[in-house]
C-alpha cells in the first residue's frame, strides 16, 4: 500500500514511512492510494467473526506486507484487549462504549495499535523516534499509556494548561520513563500549531526523527474504523437504517467511520455533533469553510477550531460538497444543552454519559426528529470519571474511581511549562 500527501506535492511513501514520518514534507496528511471494498459475504456475516478477526480484515490492506500477518494479528490482539459494548438508551438510540481500555477513552485503540506498529517497524533501527503530539484531553493519556516503555521511542505531549480535566492531566503527566509532558499556556489549537511547526522545522528534523500520534498519523487514524464494524456486528435489527452520531473535534473518528462505509459497511448516514466549536456545522449549512479560534467548553476534547482530519473527509468525497451532504448532517450544542442532556439521560435511562457522549446523544435526538425511521448509535468516547467536576453536580451523584484511575490519581504531576514555540524547540533539542 502506498500513501500520498493530500497537498499533492510530496512523493508517495510506504506504510512504514507514513507511520514514522506522520506528516508529509509538504505539510499534507497521508491518505491511502487505494481503498478496496471488503466482500459482501464478510459484511453480512460479521457475527461469525471475533473482533480480532474483523479488525484484521479491515486493516490488512492498509498495512500490506510491511508487517507479517502473524505479527499484525498479534498487534491487533494486544490492541483489542477490552470490550466495546453496545448499550440501549431509548427507542432508536444506542450508545457504543469505547472507554473500557487502560486510559478509559476511545483513543486507546489507535494509540495502542500505533505504538505496537511503530515498535515493530523501528525494531532494527538504533535511531530513536520522538513522538510529538498535541492533546485536547484524551489523546495524551492514551498515547502515554500506549507508548510507555517502547524501545527507541520517546514521547513529548503538549496540552493546554487548565483546559483538561484532573484525571486527563494525571494520565499524561505521571508515567515518567520515556514520556514527557509540556503544559502550554494557551489552547489546544496553540499546541497543535506548535507541533505542526516543529515537523516542518529542518533545524529540528535534521537532528531527530519526529512523528505524531494524533489522528493525523495513519496508524492512529485507520484503526478507528474497527469499532464501527463492532457496533454493526452487535445490532439486532440490520434491516433498519443505521446512523452514527459522532462527537467531533479533530474529526478523526467520523472520518474513520466514512472509511468504514467506503469498505462496504452499510452505514446510512453520519452526524457530526459539535459543541460551540462548530466550524463543520457552519460549513454544512453555508458551504463556506472558515477556521476559527477554539473556545473552552465542558466537552474539552472537542474544543478544536481547525480540525485536521476534515481534509481527509473532503478527499473521501472527492471534494464534492453535495456528495458529502448526502452522507453528513452536523449540529452544534451549547454547554447548557449538554448538561440538560446528561441529566435527561440519567433520569430516563439511569445511564451516566460523559459530556462528549451527551453531545453525540443530542445529535441523534435532533436527527431523529426529522428522520424517525432510523436507528442511531452515538459514540460514548470517554468514561464519565474523567469529567467528575462537570458530571457530579449535574446528576447529583458521586462517581467512584475505577481501578485504572485509582492507580494514577494520587501520583504527582510532572510537567514543563512553556508559552512559545522557541521554548518547545529548545526542549526538543536539549532533550
- Residue 80 clears pLDDT 90, i.e. is over it: yes
Residues 76 and 55: beta-carbon distance below 8 Å = yes
Instruction: Work out the average pLDDT over 226-255.
Output: 94
> Does residue 9 or residue 188 have the better pLDDT?
9
- In the chain, domain spans: 82-105+221-400
Is pLDDT of 190 > 70? yes
Query: What pLDDT does 69 receive?
Result: 96
Least confident of 14-18, 71-75, 250-254, 291-295: 291-295
Residue 96 neighbours by CB distance under 10 Å = 23
pLDDT band at 220 (very low <50, low <70, confident <90, very high): very high
Model confidence over 153-184: pLDDT tens digits? 899 999 999 888 888 898 889 888 899 999 99
**What is the rounded average pLDDT of the residues 80-86?**
96
Q: Which residues of 39-60 are buried (b: 16+ CB within 10 A; e: fewer)?
A: eeebbeebeeeebbebbbbbbb
Say whether 107 is catalytic.
yes
Model confidence pLDDT, tens digit, residues 318-359: 999 999 999 999 999 999 999 999 999 999 999 999 999 999
Which tens digit of pLDDT belongs to each residue from 94-132? 999 999 998 888 989 998 999 999 989 988 777 888 999
Task: Inform me whether the pLDDT recorded for 147 exceeds 80.
Answer: yes
Residue 402 has a pLDDT of 86
Average pLDDT over residues 86-91: 96
Measure the CA–CA gap between 190 and 196, rounded to whole angstroms: 10
Q: What is the pLDDT of residue 167?
A: 85
- Confidence (pLDDT) at 182: 95
Q: How far is CA 389 from the centre of its chain?
A: 23
CA 44, 49, 53, 56: dihedral to nearest 10 degrees? 10
Q: Which residues contact 287 (CB under 8 A, 6 or more apart)?
A: 321
pLDDT at 314 over 90: yes
Helix, strand, or coil (residue 192): helix
- Reported confidence tier of residue 63, pLDDT bands at 50, 70, 90: very high
User: Strand order in 269-274's β-sheet?
Assistant: 86-90, 93-97, 375-380, 242-247, 269-274, 328-332
Q: Is the pLDDT of residue 67 over 90?
A: yes
In this prediction, residue 367 carries a pLDDT of 97
In this predicted structure, the answer to whether residue 142 has a pLDDT above a threshold of 90 is: no
281 has pLDDT over 70: yes
Mean pLDDT computed over 292-305: 89
Tell me the C-alpha to C-alpha distance, in Å, between residue 18 and each of 211, 216, 238. 9, 10, 36
Separation CA 384–CA 354 (nearest Å): 5
Question: Mean pLDDT throughout 252-262?
Answer: 97
* Residue 59: per-residue pLDDT: 98
Active-site option among 107, 261, 365, 386: 107
Please give the class, per CATH, of domain 82-105+221-400: alpha beta
Tell me what pLDDT residue 97 has.
97
For residue 236, pLDDT beyond 80: yes
Q: Quick one: pLDDT at residue 431?
A: 65
Average pLDDT over residues 231-248: 93
Residue 239 has pLDDT above 90, yes or no: no
What is the DSSP-derived secondary structure letter of residue 269? E
Euclidean distance between the first and final Cα of the chain, in Å?
34
Query: Among 75-79, 231-235, 294-298, which is the least confidently predicted range?
Result: 294-298
Q: Look at residue 306 and give its three-state secondary structure.
A: coil
Query: pLDDT tens across 371-411, in order?
Result: 999 999 999 999 998 898 899 999 999 988 888 888 888 89
Average pLDDT, the chain: 92
Of all residues in the chain, what percent carry a pLDDT higher than 90?
69
Amino acid at each position: 500500500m502506498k500513501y500520498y500527501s493530500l497537498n499533492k506535492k510530496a512523493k508517495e511513501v510506504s506504510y512504514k514511512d507514513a507511520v514514522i514520518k506522520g506528516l508529509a514534507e509538504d505539510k499534507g496528511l497521508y491518505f491511502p492510494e487505494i481503498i478496496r471494498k471488503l466482500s459482501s459475504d464478510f459484511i453480512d456475516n460479521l457475527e461469525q467473526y471475533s473482533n480480532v478477526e474483523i479488525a484484521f480484515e479491515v486493516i490488512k490492506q492498509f498495512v500490506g506486507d510491511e508487517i507479517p500477518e502473524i505479527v499484525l494479528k498479534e498487534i491487533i490482539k494486544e490492541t483489542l484487549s477490552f470490550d466495546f459494548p453496545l448499550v440501549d438508551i431509548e427507542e432508536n438510540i444506542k450508545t457504543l462504549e469505547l472507554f473500557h481500555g487502560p486510559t478509559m477513552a476511545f483513543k486507546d485503540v489507535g494509540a495502542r495499535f500505533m505504538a505496537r506498529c511503530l515498535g515493530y517497524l523501528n525494531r532494527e533501527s538504533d535511531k530513536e523516534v520522538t513522538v510529538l503530539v498535541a492533546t485536547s484531553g484524551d489523546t495524551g493519556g492514551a498515547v502515554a499509556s500506549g507508548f510507555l516503555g517502547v524501545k527507541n521511542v520517546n514521547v513529548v505531549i503538549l496540552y493546554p494548561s487548565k483546559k483538561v480535566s484532573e484525571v486527563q492531566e494525571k494520565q499524561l503527566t505521571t508515567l515518567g520513563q520515556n514520556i514527557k509532558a509540556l503544559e502550554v499556556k494557551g489552547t489546544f489549537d496553540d499546541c497543535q500549531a506548535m507541533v505542526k511547526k516543529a515537523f516542518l522545522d529542518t533545524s529540528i528534523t535534521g537532528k531527530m526523527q519526529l512523528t505524531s500520534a494524533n489522528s493525523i498519523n495513519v496508524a492512529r487514524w485507520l484503526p478507528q474504523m474497527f469499532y464501527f464494524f463492532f457496533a454493526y456486528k452487535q445490532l439486532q435489527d440490520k434491516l433498519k437504517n443505521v446512523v452514527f452520531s459522532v462527537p467531533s473535534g479533530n474529526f478523526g473518528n467520523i472520518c474513520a467511520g466514512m472509511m468504514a462505509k467506503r469498505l462496504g459497511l452499510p452505514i446510512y448516514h453520519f452526524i457530526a455533533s459539535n459543541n460551540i466549536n462548530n466550524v463543520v456545522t457552519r460549513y454544512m449549512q453555508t458551504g463556506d469553510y472558515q477556521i476559527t479560534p477554539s473556545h473552552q467548553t465542558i466537552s474539552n476534547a472537542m474544543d478544536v477550531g481547525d480540525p485536521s482530519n476534515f481534509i481527509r473527509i473532503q478527499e473521501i468525497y472527492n471534494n464534492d460538497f453535495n456528495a458529502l451532504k448526502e452522507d453528513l448532517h452536523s449540529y452544534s450544542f451549547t454547554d447548557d444543552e449538554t448538561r440538560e442532556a446528561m441529566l435527561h439521560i440519567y433520569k430516563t435511562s439511569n445511564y451516566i454519559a460523559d459530556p462528549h457522549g451527551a453531545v453525540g446523544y443530542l445529535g441523534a435526538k435532533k436527527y431523529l426528529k426529522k428522520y424517525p425511521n432510523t436507528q442511531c448509535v452515538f459514540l460514548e468516547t470517554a468514561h464519565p470519571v474523567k469529567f467528575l467536576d462537570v458530571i457530579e453536580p449535574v446528576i447529583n451523584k458521586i462517581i467512584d474511581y475505577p481501578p485504572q484511575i485509582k492507580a494514577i490519581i494520587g501520583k504527582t504531576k510532572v510537567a514543563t511549562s512553556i508559552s512559545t514555540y522557541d521554548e518547545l524547540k529548545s526542549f526538543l533539542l536539549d532533550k
